[in-house]
Amino acid sequence: MADRSAGYVAELAAELYQQYPDLLTAEKDLAILRARFAIVATWIQNIAYDDTARRALAQALQLPEPAPGSR
């Protein structure tokens, strides 16, 4: 089973490479995007900022809204 899944992953990687040849750039772009979403999610949960703004941003980005106790 491990051999089949390794082959499947290799096949998917080859397809992705054909569509987006610079995989390293794609990985870096994804890492930056994940880091930015983490910053935004942390801001949304920070009670030091306006609750209405935090809730509106969470809704707009389809992220979890601030916890009820964080008002």
Count other Cβ atoms within 10 Å, centred on residue 33: 10
Cβ(47)–Cβ(71) below 8 Å: yes
Give the amino acid at 26: A
Predicted TM-score (pTM) above 0.75: no
Average pLDDT over residues 23-48: 90
Crossing angle of helices 23-45 and 51-60, rounded to 10°? 150
Q: At residue 46, does pLDDT exceed 70?
A: yes
Q: At residue 41, does pLDDT exceed 70?
A: yes
Confidence of residue 5 (pLDDT cuts 50, 70, 90): confident
| Distance from C-alpha of 64 to C-alpha of 51, rounded to nearest angstrom | 13
More confident residue, 66 or 17: 66
More confident residue, 4 or 36: 36
Residue 40 exposed, middle or buried by CB count within 10 Å (0-12, 13-18, 19+):
middle
